[in-house]
Amino acid sequence: MEEFDLIVVGGGAAGFFGAIACAEARPGSRVLILEATPRVLTKVKISGGGRCNVTHHQFDTKRLVTSYPRGQKELIGAFHRFQPRDTVAWFAAHGVELKVEEDGRMFPVTNSSQTIIDCLEGAARQSGVSLRLKTLVQKIEKTDDHFILHTKDGATLRSRFVLLATGSMPFGQNLARELGHRLVDPVPSLFTFEIKDPLLEGLSGTSFPRVHMQLKVPAAAQDFQQEGPCLITHWGLSGPAVLKLSAFAARELFASEYQAQLTVNWEHPLKYEAALQQLETLRQQHPKKKVSNENPFHCTRRFWEALLRESGLTAQQTYAETSKKHLQDIARRLTGTVLSVAGKGVFKDEFVTAGGVAREEIDFRRMESKVCPGLFLAGEVLDIDGITGGFNFQNAWTGSWLAAQAVAQSLGG
């Protein structure tokens, strides 16, 4: 039977990074990656719209963890040992320069995810990591001091340690279950909201730099709140504020079959009273001006016209022709439009699953299983996920790096 020091199950971001880190920390160690499909790093390839949002420019670990709806508490210690600054340094040391964009997202300067794939494949080759494609691991057995891995094609392999980096695939998670782990049910995270509302009709492409959103979900005891940029799409709403809400309310939205009530302040932090005051001042100072031509707020002309239409005003109406109720209605819609979320839309740039192996069963100093010593877990196989912006890959880099150091140390001992 072939024997290895570390077998990594899964050739994704976490699997590659962990295999390389172990082989680099303990040169000469026998490290093998087993990948079920014919290709490795497929999610890296399509990530970030083909540019791969490798990490986020947030080097303050206390702030960094607030971007993880699940895993906040556990990741604090882990990020003390390997955080985005270390990711940037790691890729620089392996010949890849990362750049930061205005919103903090970090990409390779080439703007191509292939750069990251080439880097990881090259580093794996150089450090002596072996790789087998089209090799699905079907079963893992634990003996006293070893693991026996059974593959679908009938091979049996022996390894001292195993790193389970199978992502969100249910088959991979079952391997953890069979070794004694509890699984938290998977539900989607990072999605857009499907909303049909007359106010949004014909406004696809309209963006807002800073909205405040409050989401009332029947299955949740408390409302969810987020602020940030937002975009009207053909199907409803998207943008960072929506994606953050979808992540933090992922479980409750799933339980409520994606039916919820969303209240949006399009002009955050402007309050209703201040908005009404501005409109009343305009009415006093410019009674003859058409309301449609005199928009005192930051929103686009198209959105302003839609607001007026929904508040019952015609395009020709002047300020003098508006009633107090009209102005109240405009101010109310601007600072608190109530919309019905009717479903979950897609977000093609990034998608993750909430759920996976229960966090309390992992020793986060080593990423080692507490129920099956010698088994390490990293990446999306765990019940950890981040909001959009490079946080999900950072979780994969950090977890697999910690696991690799622990394995390398044990091999040395």
Residues at the contact surface with ligand FAD, assessed by CB under 6 A: 9-15, 34-37, 42-43, 46-48, 52-53, 136-137, 165-167, 169, 171-172, 349-352, 379-381, 390-393, 396
* ∠ CA 77-79-80, rounded to 5°: 65
- Decide whether 168 or 311 has the Cβ nearer to ligand FAD: 168
Partnered with residue 375 across adjacent β-strands are 162
Q: How far apart are CB 223 and ligand FAD at their closest, in Å?
A: 27
- Decide whether 33 or 211 has the Cβ nearer to ligand FAD: 33
Q: How far apart are CB 235 and ligand FAD at their closest, in Å?
A: 18
Helices (H), 26-141: 42-50, 61-64, 72-81, 84-93, 113-127
Tokens linked to 327: 């102005």
Burial label for 209, CB within 10 Å (0-12, 13-18, 19+), is exposed
Q: How far apart are CB 126 and ligand FAD at their closest, in Å?
A: 20
Pairing status of strand 352-357 against strand 183-189: antiparallel
Q: How far apart are CB 56 and ligand FAD at their closest, in Å?
A: 8
- Decide whether 107 or 224 has the Cβ nearer to ligand FAD: 107
Pairing status of strand 2-9 against strand 31-34: parallel
- Decide whether 233 or 394 has the Cβ nearer to ligand FAD: 394
- Decide whether 149 or 306 has the Cβ nearer to ligand FAD: 149
User: How far apart, in whole angstroms, are the C-alpha atoms of residue 11 and residue 38?
Assistant: 10
- Decide whether 99 or 290 has the Cβ nearer to ligand FAD: 99
Q: How far apart are CB 15 and ligand FAD at their closest, in Å?
A: 5
- CA distances (Å), origin 5, targets 125, 185, 277, 329: 17, 32, 71, 68
Q: How far apart are CB 174 and ligand FAD at their closest, in Å?
A: 8
User: How far apart, in whole angstroms, are the C-alpha atoms of residue 152 and residue 37?
Assistant: 12
Q: How far apart are CB 163 and ligand FAD at their closest, in Å?
A: 10
User: How far apart, in whole angstroms, are the C-alpha atoms of residue 249 and residue 380?
Assistant: 18
Instruction: Name every residue whose Cβ is closer than 8 Å to that of residue 321 and which is 6 or more positions away in sequence.
Output: none
- Decide whether 339 or 379 has the Cβ nearer to ligand FAD: 379
Structure-token match 């199950």, residue found: 9
